[in-house]
Structure 1
Amino acid sequence: MTSGTQLSNDNGSHPKNSFKIFIGYDPREDLSYEVCRYSLLKRSSIPIEIYPIKQSQLREKGIYWRERGKLESTEFSFSRFLTPYLSNYEGWAMFVDCDFLYLDDIKKLLDLVDEKYAVMCVHHDYTPKETTKMDGAVQTVYPRKNWSSMVLYNCGHIKNKVLTPEVVNRETGAFLHRFQWLSDDEIGEVPFVWNFLVGHNKVVEGDESTFPKAIHYTLGGPWFEQWKNCEFGDLWLNELEECKKDEEKMVD
């Protein structure tokens, strides 16, 4: 399999040695995907390739076939774990949920990678108080919740070769979302500001180490009417306006 060809690239080019980023895609949240993609491209100082993980494409290609369970709040609940496979088990790649807004250069996150780890992510200690999220989806509670929402994968790591399409289609949510194919010392940690949970993480005035670099609207974002006024919602809406203006310039 040629690296990156299983899904269509969404920024029109394949720069040499570019960093692959796979964004979870759900048709109900198309706007959030577009803004996440735009925020990454706008601030990146390095070449990046962005691929939407679209379940329909994966099914057409015979890569994904599992039935959707009642607790899956998005179409990419399980397909996200195909990231190493989709990267041909080579180099580092990132998966991120579509409900993120990037406020800083992705290179700064990539500079934190350590080859000794199979994956790296924010080690949230998070138990949501709400029973529903986004557009009424059930809010499930489990250990390591939100760890899998933004993951740097060391795709060439021997342990990640376990993540074949067969395993991703067969294994339980617990096995996948809790990284049970790995030992704890193979799961590296990055600062929480790269997966800043709205409603959970807090900015401490004067402490730059708490300023978000990537905002995660995990309960729901401004693309849903009922979440228009959520915390940091104005930042997302401003980014949307910029995104639309840039698209209009390209059309003109």
Structure 2
Amino acid sequence: MPTLLLVRHGRSTANTAGILAGWTPGVELDDTGRVQAAALAGRLTGVPIAQAVSSPLERCRQTLEPLLAGRPGLSRPALDERLGECHYGEWTGRPLAELATEPLWRTVQDHAAAAAFPGGESLRELSHRTVTAVREWNEKVAVEHGDDAVWIACSHGDVIKAVVADALGLHLDHFQRINVEPCSVTAIRYTPQRPFLLRMGDTGDLSSLGPRPGRADAPAGDAVVGGDTGTS
């Protein structure tokens, strides 16, 4: 099955200001975020990408722009609201330092499956919509581009953490154990048996994430007992 490269958007003006942006319009990459986005294109040199998908929010679309500019054969990203940021409701636009004093903050930290943002959505709802979107896109990419295809989706921190938790079979209460930095890449290869987490929050070289030839030592979808030998 295809390999998904989940990219968190580059550092944004809200990140710098310590504000919970949510779906606030007009939140863009800051200067550091633009440098990170430009570097992402270079980090993915040699990795063929069949499909690009993005959260509709500006900071995600801006993160993919340098990559798309260097790949004229890659279509503009499909925008999928299901990969958009969590709807934080009344928390949107507030300073994180202030939110940390709210009683709900501890629930978000310690019992995420019970957390629901006032006037927004619950983290359970976030997990359901994002995991559903990723798995549907993965099947679509497999049909249109083949099982060895690589595709990229640019989204947000809590979205990526929820998708990783699902891939690892973690209860949602544990998703705060996962950390993904701005413009990091998390790679997941889905198979009929199980997902394989290939990279998580990677900010370095990504050249080994291209298509992999079939293996003689383990059936597709099975883990190699004793450990994989890599791509070389």
TM range (shorter): under 0.3
TM norm structure 1: 0.26
TM norm structure 2: 0.27
Higher relative CO (Cα under 8 Å, sequence separation at least 6) belongs to 2
Q: Relative to total residues, which structure has the larger helix share, 1 or 2?
A: 2
